Chain A
Amino acid sequence: MANDSTAAVRTAGVWKIFRQEAEEVQAVRGVDLTVARGEFTALAGPSGSGKTTLLNLIGGLTRPTRGQVWVAGRDVSGMTSQELARLRLAQVGFVFQAYNLLPVLTALENAEFPMLLQGVDAAERHARVRELFARTGMDGLEDRRPGKLSGGQQQRVAVVRAVASRPALVLADEPTANLDSAASEALLDVMAELNRDLGVTFVFATHDGRVMERARRLVRMVDGAIDSDERRA
């Protein structure tokens, strides 16, 4: 088992149970998972297998019903919602399936928003965003509003935003689900490159075979539990 301080995230016997009236749904059932820094991991599994719920747990968006979750070495189980928000701001980047961007902000303003909240100064913010925009093929589009960007471009801005604030890990829930195959490939190229060159830790939840193929570690979930966990060279 990896050391807590080097792991981007670690869960130990984590459960998430949703109660609806008399019924209870065990969305995540006793998952032990460690993601080291620098990994490029895909969570796969059929619909309803608990991928999104697990991502939400390790991103500090929800608290586990049972078990423990450490993000960048810190136990999130007992955190208040303020503490969770602080943790997300400092340590976690999110990329959702769609509607990631604030429609009233330009691409650049969207990308620098978390850094603005972190108190990073303007010169540093702009330098980081411009560098990442150049890497992701987004230069020249800094001043566009999301409405004037393609779906693929919007997802790239979301990735830049998630990476620029230098979190311990970036969580992406079905980032390619709304993209055509060319845009999906392009987005995957961008993320793989950021992972390789900058060591950004990525965890995806996905149905997309392309994403699974590109992952260097593939964790399969079935009924809220880990079914298989394979690493590739």
Chain B
Amino acid sequence: MQKMHARVLVVLAMRNLRRHLRRTVLTASAMIVGGALLVFTFAIGDGGHEQWIDSGVRLGNGHVTVERPEYRVSRRIDDRLAADVRRAAEQALAAPEVAPHVVATSAKLSINGLASSSAGARPAQIVAVDPVAETGFGMVDDQIVEGRYLEPDDRLAAYVGAELVDSLELRLGSRFVVQAQDTEREIAGQLLRVVGIFRSGVPAVDQMTIHIPLTTAGDWLGSQNDVTNVGVVLDGSAATALVRGHLERALADPVTRGDARVMGWREADPALAAAIAIDDFGAYLTNGFLFVIIGFGIVNTVLMSVMHRRREFGVLQALGLTPGQTGAIVLVEGLTLSAASGLLGVALGLAGTWYFFGAGLDMSAVMEDIGDMTFSGAVIDPVIVPLFATRRLLQIVTFILCIGAVASIYPALRAARVDVTEAMKFDR
């Protein structure tokens, strides 16, 4: 048989949908609302996650970090990056393919040590930084409680987490001592003065972290300008794979030698990655459930129309349509209905989310109930800026089309199985 013209199929589908306008509009509105809701929830969800990631990576080592493979576990000064590796990494980040995504770069020497005052001694995480680079990297301005951040001329200055300040009974201007293993494997001490006190909101950070100038650390520990990490904050987590891949290629030699490792934020912060995955899973579950209901609505509408039109399908088959082609008419009808309304919903969801919440959706009212503003190493900002990712949109559109197809298959099969001789029987 000649191929049935797709145009005829579509014309039949459109006219049948228009003929039963009320039924069509009802189903379409469910799909429109569902599509819009889907876009909204994921734009807000992804926007929120992007904030978790951003604050997480700024407190840590960036979206992508380069360090020695052993460093992650040991956190010892022995596992410093070789100077040429650091240079190669910094050069690679300046390459035109990746540079536009780079918001801030910071090379740090980050090791474990001990901080002591007359009040006692506490374990400390000593982070030696270039003050200027770190200012852009860590968003330190938002976290200062008292004093200031490190400045380029500082020598003995320390910027200390608020809870560590409390437990050592320090104040702005107080002196205290830090001790750590130096490059000669001797325990070395260094006198510091508190110039700034900060609170990130993450207890583990506020209880342990001390920022000092990299030059001070170099003199104290004999490590000169060496660092343990080169971290980079990107313009969005979506650029992670690109930048990571680029760095891996640029550092192929040291990576194969075992002198360097390039990590994305997911590996560097598995807890954060897991928290996002769990949150996404929740969204998939609720939306999946919503769309199962919408799907049943479509099945119901299309099936009802099939049942009312058994004679019509009988006639079509008598005219020479194969059962498959008869089913195709119904499939096109269901697909047209769900695709058109679903895409309209997506478009409305995009426009609405952007128009009403483009500047950010303030969730502080909801979050007050949650109380704890930190989550898995990330600080939650109550104002969520929606994120519209192309990949997510494609995912949503594909999902809607699949729901439409799945919901149309059963009615289509029923139409294909219409028996002409039964359908065309008349009672007399």
Quick check: is A89 within 8 A (CB to CB) of the other chain?
A: yes
Interface string of A64-105 (1 = CB under 8 A from B): 000000000000000001100110111010101111111111
Query: Do the beta carbons of A82 and B322 come within 8 Å of each other?
Result: yes
Nearest CB of chain A from residue B326's CB, rounded to whole Å: 9
- Neighbouring B residues of A85 by C-beta, 8 Å: 1, 317, 320-323, 325
Q: Which of A29-37, A114-122, A124-132, A225-233 contacts its partner? A: A114-122
Query: Do the beta carbons of A117 and B317 come within 8 Å of each other?
Result: no
Given A94-B318, A96-B424, A99-B315 in contact, is the A117-B2 Cβ separation under 8 Å? yes
Interface string of B312-330 (1 = CB under 8 A from A): 1001111111111100000
Query: Do the beta carbons of A88 and B12 come within 8 Å of each other?
Result: no
Quick check: is A188 within 8 A (CB to CB) of the other chain?
A: no
CB-CB nearest in chain A for B311? A99
- Neighbouring A residues of B321 by C-beta, 8 Å: 85, 89, 117
Interface residues on B, range: 20 to 34
Quick check: is B420 within 8 A (CB to CB) of the other chain?
A: yes
- Neighbouring A residues of B19 by C-beta, 8 Å: 103-104
Quick check: is B421 within 8 A (CB to CB) of the other chain?
A: yes
- Neighbouring A residues of B316 by C-beta, 8 Å: 102
Quick check: is B355 within 8 A (CB to CB) of the other chain?
A: no
Quick check: is B428 within 8 A (CB to CB) of the other chain?
A: yes
Quick check: is B4 within 8 A (CB to CB) of the other chain?
A: yes
- Neighbouring A residues of B319 by C-beta, 8 Å: 88-89, 94, 113-114, 117, 161
Partner of A61, one of B15, B420, B426: B420
Quick check: is B167 within 8 A (CB to CB) of the other chain?
A: no
Interface string of B397-428 (1 = CB under 8 A from A): 00000000000000000000000110011101
Quick check: is B391 within 8 A (CB to CB) of the other chain?
A: no
Nearest CB of chain A from residue B218's CB, rounded to whole Å: 82
**Best-surrounded residue of A89, A114, A118, A161 (most CB of chain B within 10 A):** A89
Nearest CB of chain A from residue B290's CB, rounded to whole Å: 32
Partner of B2, one of A97, A105, A119: A119
Query: Do the beta carbons of B320 and A97 come within 8 Å of each other?
Result: no
Distance of A94 Cα from B1 Cα, bound (Å): 18
Distance of A74 Cα from B2 Cα, bound (Å): 19
Quick check: is A50 within 8 A (CB to CB) of the other chain?
A: no
Quick check: is B8 within 8 A (CB to CB) of the other chain?
A: yes
Query: Do the beta carbons of B12 and A118 come within 8 Å of each other?
Result: no
- Neighbouring B residues of A82 by C-beta, 8 Å: 1, 322, 324
Nearest CB of chain A from residue B319's CB, rounded to whole Å: 5
CB-CB nearest in chain B for A93? B319
CB-CB nearest in chain B for A158? B315
Instruction: List the 6 closest A-B pairs by CB distance, nearest first.
Output: A89-B320, A104-B15, A119-B2, A85-B322, A94-B318, A88-B320
